[in-house]
Amino acid sequence: MAEPRPVLQMTGVVKEFPGVRALSGVDFRLFPGEIHALIGENGAGKSTLIKVLTGVHSLDGGTITLDGESVEFTSPLQAQQAGISTVYQEVNLCPNLSVAENIFIGREPTRGGRIQWKRMRKEAAELVDRLGLDIDVAAPLSSYPLAVQQLVAIVRSVGTGDRETPGSGAGQAPGSGTATKVLVLDEPTSSLDRDEVLELFRLMRQLRDDGVAILFVSHFLDQIYEICDRMTVLRNGTLVGEHLVRDLDQVGLIELMIGKALDQLEELHEHQLHSDVGETLVKAEGLGRSGKISPFDLEIKKGEVLGLAGLLGSGRTELARLLFGADHPDTGKVTIGGKQVSMSAPNDAIGAGVAFCSENRRTEGLVPDLTVRENIILALQAARGWTRPIPASQRDELVAKYIKALDIRPANPEARVGQLSGGNQQKVLLARWLITSPQLLILDEPTRGIDIGAKTEIQRLVVSLSEDGMSVLYIAAELEEVLRLSHTIGVLRDRKLVARLANGPEITTSRILETIASGEHQ
């Protein structure tokens, strides 16, 4: 089968950040008139690949050709001018301006320097109409729901090239003069409901039929199977496969994404889960938050490790945040140790003995300017209040104890936390919560982006903590990891807790994969 020439070809793309190789020699091609899914877990390199493509990051190795010509962009604007438009998950438009202005800003039709409002509205209306949308272009963008704003962003990015730009000058329009060849949609569906997604898909199909090559990033597998023609799967910064969608089923895809037991954690393999699981500690009934996670019931016993399995965006973080009061639940109630807890703010949960290590260490966990010592005692100090400082001797002893126990390096309590490596930062966060002696420890992807040695140590720690009677809610992208540590595995799919599996010999990664793929508990 003779394939047409790809409109975009990336070969051997390498991107390095200090200490991390985000992309190591990735090949990627995109054909005109196709919708191509880019798939991978967190840290697989999806966003880095897109950013390299659209000129946000510079290239450290490899080549990019667009329409047969070698290109390298140094800014998003350049990429746009060459015909590569990007629509991000957060709508990058100005909500205070009208829809028509958002479509045309930077290239408004003018005569003698005066904006021709009527003409602009008319052309915007025609464009919107041609794409089969029903939007009042004179209304301010903020009067529309996010889904419509998303569509407007797409209209802007594709509607720019096919008309002559009147006048030229410094304020040159993105995409002017060149039709959009490649449209990158970076997780556009993550905050849309089903009907809104259908509308988006209709628009995507229409653009594809017009010959636009669409690169679609989504973590919803159903959507990928519904709309995409071809997919590229990344894992740990490498290409693991390019397939036609019809050639690969969901289980096969998930295996590609998560990877099979590529395992260096052999010592833990022999580990037997301790059976010393006590009474119910935490009980959630009908807990939920609309748009984040459907109401769920959950029980965590004393000394139990409950693992959450599910793909990115399946609601695993959202579930954890509700249990900690980081987000306010719409429905349901939580009882901890037999007492109902209001969960309106993290304080309530902390008071009841819950601790939460966020997956976003930098933005939601650490205070980078403060020292290791200060970051470690922060939670305990917050609980004591500002008037009762931890006595210096006791504080130093505690900090030294945990620096040693968790092997935090450098073992200098005065070091600024922002300068530590990822693994050590994670350990600082763990130490912060461990000194509060929590009853339930929630770990959201504690092993993400850290080196293999630190990974092993953290997993061993989880085991020994649970042996000592602490309950742990453990979230990880790698199924092996969840399977190895957990007594019970909660499976999530599409923001629903679809199954709870008691770990045992019959539970294997493929069994969990099937559950994730089918969304049913067999």
Partner 1 sequence: MTATAQKPKAAANGTASRTTRLLADPRLPVLVTAALFLAMYGGGLSRYTNYGFGEPQVFLNLFIDNGYLLVAAIGATFVILSGGIDLSVGSVIGFTTMFTAWLVERQGLPLVLVVPIALGVGAFGGFLMGYVIHNFEIQPFIVTLAGLFLFRGLCLVISKESISVSDPSVDTLAQTRVPLGLGELSIGALVALAVLAVAYYVLHHTRFGRRVYAIGGNEQSALLMGLPMGGTKIAVYTVSGFCSALAGLLFMLYIQSGDPLHAVGMELDAIAAVVIGGTLLTGGSGYVVGTLFGVLVLGLIKSLITFEGTLSSWWTKIATGVLLCAFILIQRTMTGRKKT
Partner 2 sequence: MTTTSRLRALTRHHLFWPVAVLIGLLLVNVPFTPDFFSVKMTDGHLYGSLVSIVLFGSPLILVAVGMTLVIATGGIDLSVGAVVAITGALTCSYISDQADQSALSAVFLAMGIGLVAAVVCGLWNGFLVARMGIQPIIATLIIMVAGRGVAQLITDGQIITINSEPYKLIGGGYWLTLPFSIFVVAVVVAATMLLTRRTALGLLVESVGGNAEASRLVGIRSARIKIMVYVFCALCAGIAGLMISSNTSAADGNNAGLWIELDAILAVVIGGTALTGGRFSIGGTVLGALVIQTLTTTIYTIGVPTQTNLVFKAAVVIAVCLLQSPKFREKVFGRKTRRKVTVPAQPVAPVEPAPKTEVSR
Rounded Cα distance between 496 and 222, Å, is: 14
Q: Is 139 in the site for partner 1 (CB under 8 A)?
A: yes
Q: Is 405 in the site for partner 1 (CB under 8 A)?
A: no
Half-sphere exposure of residue 382: CA atoms within 13 angstroms, side-chain side: 15
Q: Is 121 in the site for partner 2 (CB under 8 A)?
A: no
List the single partner that 381 binds among partner 2, partner 1, none, CB under 5 to 8 Å by kind: partner 2
Please state the length of the chain: 522
Rounded Cα distance between 373 and 371, Å, is: 5
The nearest distance, CB 465 to partner 1, in angstroms, is 39
Figure out which of the listed residues 11, 65, 89, 178 binds partner 2, where binding follows CB under 8 A: 89
Q: Is 399 in the site for partner 2 (CB under 8 A)?
A: no
Three-state SS sequence of 151-199: HHHHHHHHCCCCCCCCCCCCCCCCCCCCCCCEEEEECCCCCCCHHHHHH
**Phi/psi of residue 193, each to 5°?**
-90, 180
Half-sphere exposure of residue 393: CA atoms within 13 angstroms, side-chain side: 0
**H or E element at residue 323:** helix 316-324
Q: Is 32 in the site for partner 1 (CB under 8 A)?
A: no
Rounded Cα distance between 97 and 396, Å, is: 55
List the single partner that 29 binds among partner 2, partner 1, none, CB under 5 to 8 Å by kind: none
Figure out which of the listed residues 71, 240, 390, 507 binds partner 2, where binding follows CB under 8 A: 390
Q: Is 76 in the site for partner 1 (CB under 8 A)?
A: yes
Cα dist from 171 to 44, 94, 99, 138, 174, whole Å: 37, 17, 20, 23, 9
The nearest distance, CB 294 to partner 2, in angstroms, is 24
Packing angle, helices 509-518 and 250-258, rounded to 10: 130
Segment contacting partner 1 (CB under 8 A): 114-122, 225-233, 290-298, 368-376? Answer: 114-122
Choice between 70 and 387, CB closer to partner 2: 387
Q: Is 495 in the site for partner 2 (CB under 8 A)?
A: no
Q: Which two tokens stand for residue 165?
A: 């730009």
Choice between 423 and 519, CB closer to partner 2: 423
Choice between 146 and 405, CB closer to partner 1: 146
The nearest distance, CB 18 to partner 2, in angstroms, is 4
Q: Is 179 in the site for partner 1 (CB under 8 A)?
A: no
Choice between 178 and 280, CB closer to partner 1: 178
Binding positions for partner 1, 188-207, rule CB under 8 A: 193, 195-196, 198-199
The nearest distance, CB 392 to partner 2, in angstroms, is 10
The nearest distance, CB 92 to partner 1, in angstroms, is 4
Q: Which of 356, 360, 361 is nearest to 424 (CA)?
A: 361
Binding positions for partner 2, 348-387, rule CB under 8 A: 350, 356, 358, 361-370, 374, 377-379, 381-387
**Phi/psi of residue 388, each to 5°?**
-115, 80
Q: Is 145 in the site for partner 1 (CB under 8 A)?
A: yes
Q: Residue 314, Cα to own-chain centre: how many angstroms?
A: 10
Choice between 62 and 329, CB closer to partner 1: 329
String marking each residue 168-207 x if it binds partner 2 according to CB under 8 A: ------------------x---------------------
From the CB of residue 244, how many other CB atoms can be counted at a distance below 10 Å?
11
Segment contacting partner 1 (CB under 8 A): 169-177, 280-288, 291-299, 306-314? Answer: 169-177
Binding positions for partner 2, 423-482, rule CB under 8 A: 423-424, 432, 449, 451
Residue pair 327/374 in contact (Cβ under 8 Å)? The answer is: no
Q: Is 411 in the site for partner 2 (CB under 8 A)?
A: no
Rounded Cα distance between 356 and 349, Å, is: 9
Rounded Cα distance between 268 and 293, Å, is: 32
Would you list the DSSP string of 81-110? Answer: HTTEEEE-SS--S-TTSBHHHHHHTTS--E
Figure out which of the listed residues 25, 32, 33, 106 binds partner 1, where binding follows CB under 8 A: 106
Long-range contacts, stretch 158-161, CB < 8 angstroms, 24+ apart: 158/85, 158/183, 158/207, 158/212, 159/103, 159/127, 159/131, 160/85, 160/107, 161/83
Rounded Cα distance between 418 and 284, Å, is: 36
Residue pair 366/375 in contact (Cβ under 8 Å)? The answer is: yes
Could you tell me if residue 183 is left (phi over 0), alpha (psi between -120 and 50 degrees) or otherwise beta?
beta
Figure out which of the listed residues 36, 121, 156, 427 binds partner 1, where binding follows CB under 8 A: 156
Q: Is 97 in the site for partner 1 (CB under 8 A)?
A: yes
Q: Is 184 in the site for partner 1 (CB under 8 A)?
A: no
Q: Is 244 in the site for partner 2 (CB under 8 A)?
A: no
Choice between 134 and 414, CB closer to partner 1: 134
Q: Is 401 in the site for partner 2 (CB under 8 A)?
A: no
Residues of the shown chain interacting with partner 1 in the complex, contacts defined by CB under 8 A: 76-77, 80, 88, 91-97, 101, 105-106, 108, 110, 113-115, 117, 133-136, 139-140, 142-145, 147-148, 151, 156, 170-174, 193, 195-196, 198-199
List residues binding partner 2 (CB under 8 A).
17-20, 22, 47-48, 51, 56-57, 75-76, 88-90, 92, 186, 324, 326, 345-347, 350, 356, 358, 361-370, 374, 377-379, 381-390, 409-410, 415, 418-424, 432, 449, 451
